[in-house]
Amino acid sequence: MLIRRPDPIKPSEITPRSAYLSRRQLIAGAAAWGMLPAGAALAGAFPNLRKSDYKVDEALTSQKDVTHYNNFYEFGLDKEDPSANAPGRLKTRPWTIEVGGECAKPGTIDIDSFLKDNTIEERIYRHRCVEAWSMVIPWAGVPLGEVLKRFEPNSNAKYVAFETLMNPAQMPGQRSGEFTWPYREGLRIDEAMHPLALLAVGLYGETLPEQNGAPIRLVVPWKYGFKGIKSIVRITFTPTQPRTLWNIYAPREYGFYSNVNPAVDHPRWSQAKEHRIGEFGRRPTLPFNGYADQVASLYSGMDLKQYF
């Protein structure tokens, strides 16, 4: 049986079609889909959206590119597949997240109660994908650490494991035996508690689209984008490092930590530079995706070429 492995880097990813569209729109002055000034947000699902001090003063990637050029292999291997296949197929209500493991108060998060009971804030983060492309995205969400503390993890909780919905009827990509489904990811407990880690429920002031991981996903801005697990249904505090999908699939290529490190190349391409979607050319990749001042201390004394 022929197993299709995701292509390393296709010409369309080096200069993606969506980037061409954005440039033409910019030239044509199509403001609705063009680059927005940093700090802008669209009025929508979160009328009381609170602005956060966690933001970068860089031009936002166009909303069209953010929602039409992304990875969500449960809906296809190409960048345009999620936006073509997820809307109308992924059912996001009712939706609950089971939280358990090494904690005093295991429980369940209902997404509608979560949206009602939490202050949603906008954070403008850089997003860096392992395939050497990047974006700047205005996420709406709640700090992950604030949520996890409510379940009172105990002293055995060294890591936090996350799991995506497993439903091949809704997610046709899960019918393939190529990956070990469902999608799983994990963080060390101090990484999960870091104030930059975010449970996102929206972007551009709007409800999170299906193709971007509705109704709730993880955003860890100093790590490569695949650490940002989508459509979360389970969170577990564990004493040992959890196994993760990409680390199982290709351990030489995808380490557990997956911090953005331009000094560590992917075995099949360089990570030293990145293509910012919507721009010409490439720019140097920043260590920890530009968040070194905030997170480098988490890895003090670690060999980041070994623990990549």
- pLDDT tens digits along 66-109: 999 999 999 999 999 999 999 999 999 999 999 999 999 999 99
CB 69 within 8 A of CB 79: yes
CB 194 within 8 A of CB 187: no
Cα torsion angle, 245, 12, 123, 302, sign? positive
Radius of gyration of the chain from Cα atoms?
18
Q: What is the mean pLDDT of the chain?
A: 89
Q: Is the pLDDT of residue 119 over 90?
A: yes
Domains of the chain by start residue, with CATH: 11-299 (3.90.420.10)
Secondary-structure percent of the chain, ordered helix, strand, coil, rounded to 5: 25, 25, 55
Q: What is the DSSP letter of 25?
A: H
Specify the range with the lowest mean pLDDT, choosing from 26-40, 41-55, 244-258, 285-299: 26-40
Where would I find the beta strands (DSSP E) of 111-231? 121-128, 133-143, 159-164, 184-188, 198-203, 206-207, 217-219
List the one residue out of 292, 119, 84 whose CA is nearest residue 201: 119
pTM of the predicted protein model: 0.87
Percent of the chain clearing pLDDT 90 (strictly above):
84
Kind and range of the H or E run holding 96: strand 96-101
- What's the pLDDT tens digit per position in 240-257? 999 999 999 999 999 999
Residue type (1 letter), 257 = Y
